[in-house]
Amino acid sequence: MIRIYRYGEIANSELFARKDIVADVAEPVRAIVQDVAQNGDAALRAYEKRFDRADLTALEVSPAEWDAAMDAVEPEFLQILQEAASNIRRYHEKQVRASYVISEQPGVMLGQRILPIEKVGVYVPGGTAAYPSTVLMDTIPAKLAGCGQIVMVTPPAADGSIRPAILAAARIAGVDRVFKLGGAQAIAALAYGTESVPRVDKIVGPGNAYVAEAKKQVFGRVAIDMVAGPSEILVVADSTCSPVFVAADLLSQAEHDRLATAVLVTDSMAFAQAVAAELERQIPLLPRAEITRASIDGSGKIIVAENDLQKAIEIANELAPEHLELCVDDPFDYLDQIRCAGSVFLGKNCPEALGDYFAGPNHTLPTCGTARFSSALSVDDFVKKSQFTYYTADALWAVSGKIAAFAMQEGLQAHAKSVTIRFEEDVQ
């Protein structure tokens, strides 16, 4: 059963602590990454047979497989994918940056160029669930950024197939190539390249502990979006809310993973107890009840800030959750006070699942409190910025003494000389 705490009855360090869920998989991941780097496709086939029980001849999804997947998906769901993709695209279009030039001083031109990352790798989890939504969320911003090639990896079933909905989402989103690869070996393939898999410049997408560790280990050789932990939700709700709805929202994240975290912060003990009872009623009704139970009992909590909704907002900022629901009547009254959250869902009619699938804002979000300094995946993650500077001789002469003085202050005479030498009469 979920634990209920009165705010102040235990130390904040204990109340706000996240359960230590880090698995030490550094060494086995390092061995996999090195093996793939050295042995390429042969290593990939061996690991897929070992971990996914798939005996693969071809690692890449063929055009025929892609076409068959499109035919296998129900037309109604294809339409939903199309509409969701349209919403995601419309939202992320506003994030596209423009290059700029500054020429306010005579003889001086400064600027910034926005350049797309050429090759991007997208990891889409498999295992206990498949996520076509992740395909849309991680690919569409890359397409809007203008990335040259998008390569997707996702674990196959034992028969070597990929779920049709995943491939349908990939085609709708604009993925260029798909490979039947999961786990640390997939990350290694994207980072190093193999005979079949192209090397990419950046890897995005969530995954299990092995995927997260592999992303950490290849960072520097390639860029990564973030090292994401298990999913989390924090609901701030007052006593006017429905405990049925709030419980359902908490469970929407708890069913992801045994390690997922669901937290309610409320100003009413009676409401807290009602939600706890409702969780017990709803959990047995879920197909993923075992996973959900492990999440709620292991990491779930309810924090009661008695008659103090303002304190609930402060608690939310302290926890810096991945998903934050403000289930109150006037949510915009509190929005400006939210400083640390990956994505905020406002009001009593905005369940987090709306953001997972359909509304448009990205669902690849910072976890484990990293919303204190990190942001949702966006078009910005798929571009790089290059600066340029141009000075005429006259413009350089006008500031040459200042540059030389600055350089000499730092004890770097050659820096100073590289400017002043251009104006020495005996130098051509």
State how far the Cα of 357 lies from the Cα of 125, in Å rounded to an integer: 16
Residue 206 near residue 123 (C-beta atoms within 8 A)? yes
Sequence-distant (6+) residues with CB within 8 A of 406 are none
Considering the candidates 48, 213, 322, 352, report the single residue annotated as catalytic: 322
Work out whether the CA dihedral 326, 377, 132, 67 comes out positive or negative.
positive
Tell me, yes or no, if 92 is annotated catalytic.
Answer: no
- Angle CA 153–30–259, to nearest 5: 65
Residue from 186, 127, 104, 117 nearest 152 by CA: 186
Residue pair 299/19 in contact by the 8 Å Cβ criterion: yes
Residue 276 backbone dihedrals phi, psi, to 5 degrees: -60, -45
Nearest CA-CA partner of 343 in 319, 373, 320, 314: 320
Q: Give the dihedral sign, CA 355/356/361/362.
A: positive
**Orientation of helix 132-145 relative to helix 164-173, angle to 10°:** 20
67-70 contacts: CB < 8 A, separation 24 or more?
68/164, 69/162, 69/164, 69/165, 69/166, 69/167, 69/168, 70/164, 70/167, 70/168, 70/171
Burial category of 428 from C-beta neighbours within 10 Å (exposed 0-12, middle 13-18, buried 19 and up): exposed
CA–CA distances in Å: residue 139 to residues 48, 88, 125, 145, 378: 24, 10, 14, 10, 10
Are 316 and 278 a contacting pair, CB within 8 Å? Answer: no
Run of H or E residues at 323:
strand 323-327
Cβ neighbours, 10 Å, residue 239? 15
Quick one: angle between helices 243-254 and 289-299, nearest 10?
A: 100
User: What is the Cα–Cα distance from 365 to 228, expressed in whole angstroms?
Assistant: 8
**Contact (CB, 8 A) for 155 and 130:** no
Catalytic one of 92, 232, 255, 323: 323
Q: How far is 382 from 114, CA to CA, in rounded Å?
A: 10
What are the residue numbers of the active site?
322-323
